[in-house]
Amino acid sequence: MKSNKLKRLQNEVSRIKWYHRIDLGNGIITPGCSNNQRKLKKIGLPKNLKGQTVLDIGAWDGFYSFEAERRGASRVLATDSFSWSGQGGGTKAGFDMAKKILKSKVKAKKIDALDLSPEKIGSFDIVLFLGILYHMRHPMLALERAFSVTRKLLILETHIDMSWCRSPALAFFPGAELANDATNWFGPNSLAVKTMLKVIGFKKVQIISSDPFLYNLAWAIKLKFQNNTPFFQRLFQNRIVFHAWK
């Protein structure tokens, strides 16, 4: 790519507030704050998606949508509403630019997670529900909507709280108690997530990955001194990936 054209592209990229880090080629990686490459290694997305259809709920800049396409998915639909409306700190501009530069065939539909249904978007072999559940004011309903459009496998990644509790439980954050973000509403423990998924109809639920104890310990210590986050509260929080099969 000629230097002048490359500079123009870099300037265009810099004008957008990105969440995902996406490799656009020619040495340009979008300056997002999300460590999506690390999460990609954790979620257990099949390396070969040839012939599979994929739905990415809450796609934002579309990193996982484009990755599913790169892995051979026959059809990928990216959906979002909150972030694409500018309410989540970003817009749809990043997705649109990345799609154009990557010459992607990923489809996009602006629709809220609670409005998903087979009648509106169809059903998909694999549904990605990454970093969404704890933002939902109605988490059980959100999972029911995801279930309704899942044909085979739901991949769910979420914040986990109250891991000390041996019964299904959800921590409620009425303000900005979790990560100083008022859009974070609930922190279920892993047993609550497993139970909800089974209650709505998934036949098999498995934990695929979670952050190691030493990783959480380090963060608990750092946040205690950084902004006085309660040590034991953070210690018993986690990020866990679940696979749920129909």
Q: Where are the beta strands (DSSP E) in the chain?
A: 23-25, 28-29, 53-57, 75-80, 107-110, 124-130, 150-160, 170-172, 186-188, 204-210, 238-245
Integer-rounded Cα Rg, in Å, for the chain is 18
Express each pLDDT in 43-81 by its tens digit: 999 999 999 999 999 999 999 999 999 999 999 999 999
Domains in the chain, CATH or no CATH each? 35-245 (3.40.50.150)
Q: What percent of the chain has pLDDT over 90?
A: 84
41 burial (CB, 10 Å; 0-12 / 13-18 / 19+) is exposed
Q: Please say if the pLDDT value at position 2 is more than 70.
A: no
- In percent, how much of the chain has pLDDT > 70? 99
Over the chain, what is the mean pLDDT? 95
244: nearest Cα among 34, 43, 12: 43
Terminal-to-terminal C-alpha distance of the chain: 46
Crossing angle of helices 3-14 and 93-102, rounded to 10°: 150
183-203: average pLDDT: 97
Q: What is the pLDDT of residue 6?
A: 87
